[in-house]
């Protein structure tokens, strides 16, 4: 059977795997599979891998996630919105229906077991005076009535951090840590107050909870996250870290002697590489294991189909001599190990995207999730120094039906001596001797990374007959601290030149590219750069700017991150140097735009608010430039990755339409 080309809505048929969790026998594991239910909704279910077979454990048109197996291996706790709001549910692994444990008005999330299996810790948004014992979940009708009443009331704002792209406008509720006693079936709040408390781990003896929070009086003006322990019997809270910074993904060692976590000190603001820290609780010492590594810890890969959270580390080995984690390096992510002296070595690192893992201390084995440019993702089994074994075969039918383009890596040196990595996809049905149009894709961030992962939009453009070029210009992760910091204070400078020289390199190296038919697109920072490109060169014949930034003067005050991000990336706040911010703004150069420009933006985007698109559109339209503006109702900054499926389809259709018209 001949394979067809990729189609716009193919992403709706994908099964996206995440969050592998070993069962107690060290062989079976649970995981989450997310699919698209219909034009408006996603659904996710929990599966079990047992003796080389996969079986579905939860059903229905809802979202089940965060499965965690009890220490004795007999029960599974998870979160689900099957009742209408995310709550905590429990099921026996011997069979039977799931039991709902919580009925909190605003839901409950992220359950974790105590080491003795008697308590389940979880998180919930609470008001200061909430009585968790008497709370009940609202009915659908009650929710709708409350939402309608809220829409009629004015919003009183007295904080800098009063909105976020993920939550929308904030209220007075804060994230708290609670404990559910399985014997008494009572819920006990462990934290309270107006500050968010983020659960990290519980000590081996069950007496201490580890969490992160900013408990400072000026928390509203800071982005620090400190590390704390809470002694449950006495409620005593102790701060662990000594230096200022942001600490997260923290975990007790098996004996409780140490804490390991990721974090950084904001030395390079948002471009600071993540470090790996060890805290010795007995000696009250703090050690940075990664100070010589020059590698980004965690997963900085950009894609448009990855759904669901997964563990990226750090995770302790069984005898407290090493830590396991994912790290980002040169267009790929891998699974790594470090001893307590900072000796770094890979367990698995190849041309791929390792997006999550689970470690079993009994067998010293790993289950890890991995994606490649031609595979949306599967789970694999590996032991240290052992052979890798594929366990799942998700999306087999889809991959047997379509032709995917395998990326060709490019590497070149810029005119000022910087090495740049990128990739090129040849179009579907490629024939030697024929000329093809090119589309340059620019990633967001800017401190993120293109690389060896499945990316539906890139494959779609190749399927539509375009050569697709995507690179990691300076400012991207994966190439060390100096590289990721290099675009700060220089937006539209050498980062722009890197992209233009990448196009020059591709034209010189691949004779099948038609330099008279080139397009460019990108989102967020990539949208800013698209705006910058079309206002500084006419070499592109079409452009699509997505969720973009056009005016840094207004971005400062309207974005949920503008009040600090502007200073981080440009060195100035609005009142400190408005002239410099205007110089960085593509809107200043709108009169130079000759490239037909399509503007795509979500109505509810609070990260790069839609007024950025409105200013650009009105200005270009007033200047009688060729421009079109598409607004996506209800969509936030995550439209391309996790937005409403029908709107994601519409977005891709508009991109293809614009390039087809002009290229």
Contact yes or no for 487/494 (Cβ under 8 A): yes
Q: State the pTM of this model.
A: 0.97
Residue 518, domain member (yes or no): yes
Q: Report the CATH number at residue 119.
A: 2.120.10.30
Helix (H, G, I), strand (E, B) or coil at 645: helix
Q: Compute the average pLDDT of residues 250-254.
A: 98
pLDDT above 90 (res 34): yes
- The closest alpha carbon to 233, from 197, 209, 199, belongs to 209
- For 92-105, how does the pLDDT look when each residue is reduced to its tens digit (9 = 90+)? 998 889 999 999 99
Please tell me whether residues 367 and 484 are part of one structural domain.
no
User: How far apart are alpha carbons 563 and 579 in whole angstroms?
Assistant: 17
> pLDDT value at position 146?
86
- Separation in Å, CA 371 to CA 44, 83, 306, 435, 517: 19, 33, 9, 31, 32
> By 3-state DSSP, what share of the chain in percent is helix, strand and coil, each rounded to 5?
20, 35, 45
User: How far apart are alpha carbons 379 and 71 in whole angstroms?
Assistant: 23
User: How far apart are alpha carbons 473 and 490 in whole angstroms?
Assistant: 12
52 pLDDT band, cuts 50/70/90, is confident
Q: Report the CATH number at residue 518.
A: 3.40.50.1820
User: How far apart are alpha carbons 94 and 74 in whole angstroms?
Assistant: 7
> pLDDT value at position 1?
62
Nearest-5° angle of CA 295, CA 298, CA 302?
Answer: 100
Q: Which two tokens stand for residue 560?
A: 């949920």
Q: Compute the average pLDDT of residues 49-70.
A: 93
Beta pairing, strands 597-602 & 542-546: parallel
> pLDDT value at position 193?
87
- Is residue 134 classed exposed, middle or buried when 0-12, 13-18 and 19+ CB atoms within 10 A define those classes? exposed
Helix (H, G, I), strand (E, B) or coil at 661: helix
Please tell me whether residues 340 and 439 are part of one structural domain.
no
Q: Compute the average pLDDT of residues 633-657.
A: 97
Please tell me whether residues 422 and 376 are part of one structural domain.
no
> pLDDT value at position 184?
96
Phi, psi dihedrals of residue 72, rounded to the nearest 5°:
-90, 0
484 pLDDT band, cuts 50/70/90, is very high
- For 136-191, how does the pLDDT look when each residue is reduced to its tens digit (9 = 90+)? 888 888 888 888 888 889 999 999 999 999 899 998 899 999 999 999 999 999 99
Please tell me whether residues 250 and 371 are part of one structural domain.
yes
- For 545-592, how does the pLDDT look when each residue is reduced to its tens digit (9 = 90+)? 999 999 999 999 999 999 999 999 999 999 999 999 999 999 999 999
Please tell me whether residues 359 and 411 are part of one structural domain.
no
Please tell me whether residues 332 and 420 are part of one structural domain.
no
User: How far apart are alpha carbons 570 and 573 in whole angstroms?
Assistant: 8
Residue 65, domain member (yes or no): no
User: How far apart are alpha carbons 175 and 624 in whole angstroms?
Assistant: 49
- For 493-519, how does the pLDDT look when each residue is reduced to its tens digit (9 = 90+)? 999 999 999 999 999 999 999 999 999
Residue 12, domain member (yes or no): no
User: How far apart are alpha carbons 185 and 189 in whole angstroms?
Assistant: 13
Residue 369, domain member (yes or no): yes
- Separation in Å, CA 635 to CA 163, 186, 421, 610, 638: 15, 39, 32, 10, 7
Torsion 411-414-418-424 (CA) sign = negative
Secondary structure (DSSP) of 175-198 = EEEEEEETTT--EEE---SSS--E
Please tell me whether residues 382 and 523 are part of one structural domain.
no
Q: Which secondary structure element, helix H or strand E, spans residue 655, and what is its range?
A: helix 645-662
Maximal C-alpha separation, the chain? 76
Please tell me whether residues 610 and 503 are part of one structural domain.
yes
Among the ranges given (168-172, 274-278, 657-661), the one the predictor scored with the smallest mean pLDDT: 168-172
Helices 456-463 and 645-662: crossing angle in degrees, nearest 10, is 40
Please tell me whether residues 422 and 385 are part of one structural domain.
no
- Is residue 143 classed exposed, middle or buried when 0-12, 13-18 and 19+ CB atoms within 10 A define those classes? middle
Secondary structure (DSSP) of 107-131 = --EEEEE-TTSSEEEEEEEE-TT--
Residue 344, domain member (yes or no): yes
Q: What percent of the chain has pLDDT over 90?
A: 92
Q: Which two tokens stand for residue 123?
A: 């998180």
User: How far apart are alpha carbons 548 and 543 in whole angstroms?
Assistant: 12
Residue 69, domain member (yes or no): no
> pLDDT value at position 129?
82
Q: What is the CA radius of gyration of the chain?
A: 25
Q: Compute the average pLDDT of residues 81-95.
A: 95
The residue out of 352, 367, 398 marking a domain boundary is 398
- For 192-247, how does the pLDDT look when each residue is reduced to its tens digit (9 = 90+)? 988 999 999 999 999 999 999 999 999 999 999 999 999 999 999 999 999 999 99
The residue out of 398, 427, 460 marking a domain boundary is 398
pLDDT above 70 (res 658): yes
Contact yes or no for 596/542 (Cβ under 8 A): yes
Instruction: Tell me whether the omega of the peptide bond preceding residue 389 falls within 30 degrees of 0, making it cis.
Output: no
> Which residues participate in catalysis according to the annotation?
524, 637
Please tell me whether residues 250 and 321 are part of one structural domain.
yes
User: How far apart are alpha carbons 545 and 537 in whole angstroms?
Assistant: 15
Residue 417, domain member (yes or no): yes
Please tell me whether residues 388 and 471 are part of one structural domain.
no
- Structural domain total, the chain: 2
Where are the extended beta strands (E) located within 542-595?
Answer: 542-546
Nearest-5° angle of CA 653, CA 332, CA 322?
Answer: 140
Range of the domain at 533: 405-550+585-662
pLDDT above 90 (res 595): yes
Residue with tokens 């400078």: 493
Beta pairing, strands 275-280 & 365-372: unpaired
Contact yes or no for 190/119 (Cβ under 8 A): no
540 pLDDT band, cuts 50/70/90, is very high
Residue 602, domain member (yes or no): yes
Please tell me whether residues 379 and 465 are part of one structural domain.
no
- For 424-452, how does the pLDDT look when each residue is reduced to its tens digit (9 = 90+)? 999 999 999 999 999 999 999 999 999 99
The residue out of 376, 398, 420 marking a domain boundary is 398
- Is residue 629 classed exposed, middle or buried when 0-12, 13-18 and 19+ CB atoms within 10 A define those classes? middle
pLDDT above 80 (res 51): no
């Amino acid at each position: 059977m001949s394979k067809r080309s990729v189609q716009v809505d193919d992403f709706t048929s994908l099964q996206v795997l995440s969050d592998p969790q070993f069962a107690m026998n060290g062989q079976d594991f649970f995981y989450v599979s997310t699919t698209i239910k219909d034009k408006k909704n996603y659904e996710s279910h929990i599966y079990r891998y047992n003796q080389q077979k996969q079986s579905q454990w939860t059903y229905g048109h809802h979202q089940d996630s965060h499965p965690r197996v009890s220490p004795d291996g007999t029960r599974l706790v998870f979160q689900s919105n099957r009742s209408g709001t995310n709550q905590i549910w429990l099921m026996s692994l011997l069979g039977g229906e799931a039991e709902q444990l919580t009925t909190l008005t605003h839901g409950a999330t992220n359950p974790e077991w105590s080491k003795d299996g008697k308590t389940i810790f979880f998180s919930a948004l609470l008001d200061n005076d909430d009585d968790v014992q008497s709370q009940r979940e609202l009915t659908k009708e009650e929710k709708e009535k409350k939402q309608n009443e809220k829409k009629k009331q004015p919003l009183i704002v007295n904080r800098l951090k009063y909105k976020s792209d993920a939550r929308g406008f904030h209220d007075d509720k804060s994230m708290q840590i609670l404990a559910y006693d399985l014997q008494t079936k009572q819920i006990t709040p462990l934290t309270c107050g107006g500050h968010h408390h983020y659960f990290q781990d519980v000590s081996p003896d069950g007496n201490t909870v580890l969490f992160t929070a900013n408990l400072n009086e000026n928390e509203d003006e800071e982005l620090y996250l400190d590390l704390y322990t809470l002694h449950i019997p006495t409620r005593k809270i102790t701060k662990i870290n000594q230096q200022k910074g942001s600490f997260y993904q923290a975990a007790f060692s098996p004996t409780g002697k140490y804490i390991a976590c990721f974090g950084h000190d904001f030395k390079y603001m948002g471009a600071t590489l993540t470090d790996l820290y060890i805290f010795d609780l007995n000696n009250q010492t703090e050690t940075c294991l990664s100070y010589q590594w020059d590698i980004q810890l965690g997963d900085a890969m950009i894609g448009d189909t990855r759904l669901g959270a997964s563990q990226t580390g750090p995770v302790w080995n069984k005898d407290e001599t090493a830590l396991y984690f994912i790290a980002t390096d040169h267009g790929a992510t891998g699974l790594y190990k470090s001893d307590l002296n900072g000796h770094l070595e890979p367990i698995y690192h190849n041309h791929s995207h390792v997006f999550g893992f689970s470690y079993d201390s009994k067998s010293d084995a790993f289950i890890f999730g991995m994606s490649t440019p031609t595979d949306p993702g599967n789970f694999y089994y590996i032991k240290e120094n052992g052979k890798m074994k594929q366990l799942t075969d998700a999306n087999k039918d889809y991959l047997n039906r379509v032709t995917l383009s395998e990326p060709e890596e490019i590497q070149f040196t810029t005119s000022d001596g910087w090495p740049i990595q990128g990739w090129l996809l040849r179009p579907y049905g490629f024939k030697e001797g024929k000329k093809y149009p090119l589309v340059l894709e620019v990633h967001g961030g800017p401190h993120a990374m293109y690389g060896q992962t499945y990316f539906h939009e890139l494959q779609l453009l190749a399927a539509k007959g375009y050569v697709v070029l995507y690179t990691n210009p300076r400012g991207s992760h994966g190439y060390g601290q100096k590289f990721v910091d290099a675009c700060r204070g220089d937006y539209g400078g050498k980062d722009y030149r890197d992209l233009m020289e990448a196009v020059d390199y591709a034209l010189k190296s691949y004779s099948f590219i038609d330099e008279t038919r080139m397009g460019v697109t990108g989102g967020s920072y990539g949208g800013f750069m698209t705006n910058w490109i079309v206002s500084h060169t006419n070499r592109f014949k079409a452009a699509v700017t997505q969720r973009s930034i056009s005016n840094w003067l207004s971005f400062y005050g309207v974005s949920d991150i503008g009040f600090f991000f502007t200073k981080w990336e440009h060195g100035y706040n609005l009142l400190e140097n408005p002239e410099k911010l205007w110089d960085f703004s593509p809107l200043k150069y709108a009169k130079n735009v000759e490239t037909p420009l399509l503007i795509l933006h979500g109505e509810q985007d609070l990260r790069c608010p839609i007024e950025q698109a409105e200013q650009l559109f009105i200005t270009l339209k007033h200047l009688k430039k060729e421009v079109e503006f598409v607004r996506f109702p209800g969509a936030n900054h995550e439209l391309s990755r996790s937005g409403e499926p029908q709107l994601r389809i519409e977005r891709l259709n508009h991109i293809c339409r614009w390039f087809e018209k002009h290229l």
